[in-house]
Structure 1
Amino acid sequence: MSEYEYGRVTQEIIDRLNEITPRRVYTGDEINDDFTHDEMSIYGKAKPEAVVEPLTTEEAAAVMKLCNEHKIPVTPSGARTGLVGGAVSIHGGIILSITKMNKILGYDKENFVVTIQPGVLLNDLAEDAEKQGLLYPPDPGEKFATVGGNVATNAGGMRAVKYGTTRDYVRAMTVVLPTGEIVKLGATVSKTSSGYSLLNLMIGSEGTLGVITELTLKLIPQPKAVISLIIPYETLEDCIATVPQFFMNHLHPQALEFMEKDVVMDTEKFLGKKVYPKEMEGVEVGAYLLATFDGDSEEQLEDIIEAASEIVLEAGAIDVLVADTPALKRDAWAVRSALLEAIEADTVLLDECDVVVPTNKIAEFLTYTKSLEAEADFRVKSFGHAGDGNLHIYTCSNDMQEEEFRKQVSVFMKKVYEKATEFGGLISGEHGIGHGKLDYLAESVGPVSMRIMEGVKTVFDPNMILNPGKVCYKL
């Protein structure tokens, strides 16, 4: 039983919310079903008592102050593309949706930063920055997630292997605390030694410590040339074993993804595209690397392609296919970006984990994971970021009862997370913890780390109203 007793959203509260955010408060049948779940429905559905859409920091602060006074739980929400139940209002109350806070506020090209509201979509920011001759490097697979959501989970993505994760590009932010107070964290500078980094504490906190209402993000100049390579292998083990060679030979790929053949073929069927070869030179393909390189000129990339081709062919690649036209490069990455969507479209019951392990342990970890499939009644599918060890493992079934599926998946996940921890890895590389992975986090990091995180949560949110029951504090 929780020690926290939450208030209800009464008609009086609704009236006051309507004063703060006129015509942007929704209740009852006005609430779209999308607000009851995220993209991983296995973690349940919960309908909030109200959905509120602020347009400004001041509106968000007034909503938080009101809810804190009445101890009403608040769940921050972006595009709801999460996979761990992080934006599900499991304790009722209101959902504070930031999707209407979607303006790109301006560029400071001399300092290479852009200031935006948190509801800007990743795709829109990427396209707008490109028009300025700039690049926002973080590149999670879901291009229509909000950037605020990316920051809240410290999303990684495909370019993390070269450019780092979202955390590396957040210079400053405005945050509304659970009390309704407004704080500005960080600055338009490249380094700091000015006390505890509250900015970095907020990044990846999944909306449990504060509501982000404005972001200042680092940009870099747009690369002048980009090219991708499709590299087929006979086995997944050979495919993964090649990865360290890219770095040992100073090739610095912008992205380096691995995909199993079956997942790729299913996705091509889903998209109606044929990009990746099933067989080459009489050898059946078992897995692929998809590598992208960028540089200052086409000539520089030609040298990289030659060096990379020599390395992977010596390491067992069947061949190297160069995606040297915009259409072929677009199609190759369209397949990669749609892998999860294709799995979701063909699966009734689905769960996932996105463990991250040292790169020299990827092959051994995947072999172990695949071996567990023989003990279960579901299928295991995988793909991920070969360059940084962030692996996406999916359990899929179309014919099991949900109760039995959950039971078997629980056993599977426990073994997978234990193996990741044994290998020196962590249970999430970019999707976060939400409420779906909370118990696994506790087992992985231990009671002392959990106690420290709970203490941080309590300092920020003494009434436990902001996204309660997520990440570290189980109610």
Structure 2
Amino acid sequence: MSVQYDDLKDLVKNENQIMIDNIPDEYLTDTLKRLRGYADVVIKPTSTEEVSKILKWAYEREVPVTPRGAGTNLVGSTVPDHGGIVLDLSLMNHILELDYETLTATIEAGVLLQDFQQYVEEKGLFYPPDPGEKTASIGGNISTNAGGMRAVKYGVTRDYVMGLEIVLADGRILNVGSKNIKDSSGLSLKNLIVGSEGTLAIITKCILKLIPKPEISISVVVPFDSLESGLESVLTIIKENANPTAIEFVERKVIKLGEAFLKLSFPYPNAQAYIILTFDGKKDEVSANLSRIKEVVLHKSALNFIILDDKKLSENVWKIRSVLVKAVEAVSEQEPVDIVVPINKTLEFIKYVNKLEKETEMQMVSFGHAGDGNVHLCVVRGNRVESEWIKEKHENMAKLYSKAYELGGITSGEHGIGLTKKEYFLNETKNINLELMRKIKSDFDEKHILNSHISYNL
């Protein structure tokens, strides 16, 4: 059947919302810009009703639909690998309600994380999920169940999604979840949508849980003479019940890339590795926790305990931590990995990474969320020619994922599966799990028009 994409112009308010042919490259790729798909049309809806009409139109004609928000995805989830429609939700970016009585906010899916966090904090409230990419959309965060640096204390995006308005592949609109704190009323359709990477439905609105803004937040840099000694201290820190907001680990060689990228300085440059901690809450509580953890880590093998009570220094430390992937990418092409292992296996996994790096002579840069076992790696191309890079990268990635599964880990903690991790996910996931996922996909989207090129859909 020949598809007349001009018909879509009748479904939106004005023609400026549609691009047919000559699609800009930004809509055909993700933030790394290495994978490239193709699309027949880009549509930027401004309402749930427009999304509904577009999906109904696409479903009747079996036209593939690839949803996207801010386009910050790292694994190819936003690459329109099968052509058809790219559905850009960035114009649906309004904060619709702030409900002080239920401590919730209702927003559209295209609202950017940084804008939402700033808005609620100005109102004395707090939205804890804090993934590194602050320019991501909230809808994208929900679609990948983004975690971030504060997950060790506050949890991940799923823990703050109370309700969703979604549009099914055939255009039907429904609401899942609500402002109610408890819900034991049937299967949780809301939790199926969270983390589904746009494969089950299009998220148009979100009801998000908020908490009161902490009175104070203080960060600390703890330098070590090796990454191993730093990671060995993490379980000790957790067991002290000091309730840190963030526990990050990073090697000095990675910090140097971040310093060069931003032209900023990181404290205690003679260390080989660092643990970065944050504590928030009441002032007296934070002060007591800082004292307790300082004593514990200095008793272990920490070289120092640097409290970042200077606001500018604290901002610089977190800026450097937040740009590490971009800093590595600025030096060499790299493959970002966000493997998760049980927290007591983090050190064992990192030791394996270092061993594999020496054996293969392929640089593997390690950092991540030590408090929840989420290891971020940059597998670095260096000066390899294309054929060598593709072959060796594939071999080493397969070994990394296999080791993670051996330790009880999983493929992705917050980036999602997308296109780049699909092979490893499928290889390491039991057939019965995949079978159930595929059945759920078919029940939501019988014709498989929504992001069906990624993850478990093949």
Name the TM-score class by shorter chain. over 0.9
SS in 2 for 1:434: coil
Compute the TM-score of the two structures, normalised by the length of structure 2. Answer: 0.98
Partner of 2:72: 81
Q: Is the 8 A contact 2:46 2:92 kept in 1?
A: yes
Partner of 1:56: 47
1:325 shift after superposition: 2.0
**What's the CA shift string for 1:318-340, capped at 9, x where partnerless?**
00111002112111111111111
Partner of 2:12: 20
Q: Is the 8 A contact 2:70 2:137 kept in 1?
A: yes
Distance (Å, rounded) in 2 between the aligned partners of 1:180 and 1:17: 17
Partner of 2:56: 65
1:303 shift after superposition: 1.5
Q: 2:140 aligns with which of 135, 140, 149?
A: 149
Q: Is the 8 A contact 1:355 1:426 kept in 2?
A: yes
Q: Is the 8 A contact 2:220 2:278 kept in 1?
A: yes
1:293 counterpart = 2:284? no
Between 181-190 and 366-375, report the one with greater CA deviation: 366-375
Q: 2:316 aligns with which of 312, 328, 331?
A: 331
Aligned residue pairs: how many?
A: 457
1:21 shift after superposition: 4.5
Amino acid of the residue matched to residue 435 of structure 1? L
1:293 shift after superposition: 0.0
Q: 1:234 aligns with which of 211, 225, 237?
A: 225
Aligned residues with identical type, % of pairs: 40
Q: Is the 8 A contact 1:40 1:351 kept in 2?
A: no
Partner of 2:216: 225
**What's the CA shift string for 1:48-89, capped at 9, x where partnerless?**
111000000000000000000000000000111111110100
Partner of 2:259: 268
Between 12-21 and 128-137, report the one with greater CA deviation: 12-21
Distance (Å, rounded) in 1 between the aligned partners of 2:361 and 2:59: 46
Distance (Å, rounded) in 1 between the aligned partners of 2:132 and 2:392: 28
1:403 shift after superposition: 2.6
SS in 1 for 2:164: strand
Alignment of 1:306-385 (within 5 A): 306-347=291-332, 349-385=333-369
Partner of 1:36: 28
Amino acid of the residue matched to residue 373 of structure 1? E
Distance (Å, rounded) in 1 between the aligned partners of 2:299 and 2:305: 12
Q: Is the 8 A contact 2:109 2:205 kept in 1?
A: yes
Between 153-162 and 299-308, report the one with greater CA deviation: 299-308
Alignment of 1:95-114 (within 5 A): 95-114=86-105
Distance (Å, rounded) in 2 between the aligned partners of 1:129 and 1:63: 32
**What's the CA shift string for 1:318-369, capped at 9, x where partnerless?**
001110021121111111111111111111x321211100111111101101
Partner of 1:282: none
Compute the TM-score of the two structures, normalised by the length of structure 1. Answer: 0.94
Distance (Å, rounded) in 1 between the aligned partners of 2:86 and 2:78: 8
Alignment of 1:428-439 (within 5 A): 428-439=412-423
1:377 shift after superposition: 4.7
CA RMSD of aligned residues (A): 1.2
Distance (Å, rounded) in 1 between the aligned partners of 2:361 and 2:308: 38
Unaligned runs of 5+ in 2: none
1:180 counterpart = 2:164? no
1:315 shift after superposition: 1.4
SS in 1 for 2:346: helix
**What's the CA shift string for 1:296-330, capped at 9, x where partnerless?**
12x33222111111111111000011100211211
Partner of 1:3: none
Q: Is the 8 A contact 1:21 1:52 kept in 2?
A: no
SS in 1 for 2:441: helix
Partner of 1:210: 201
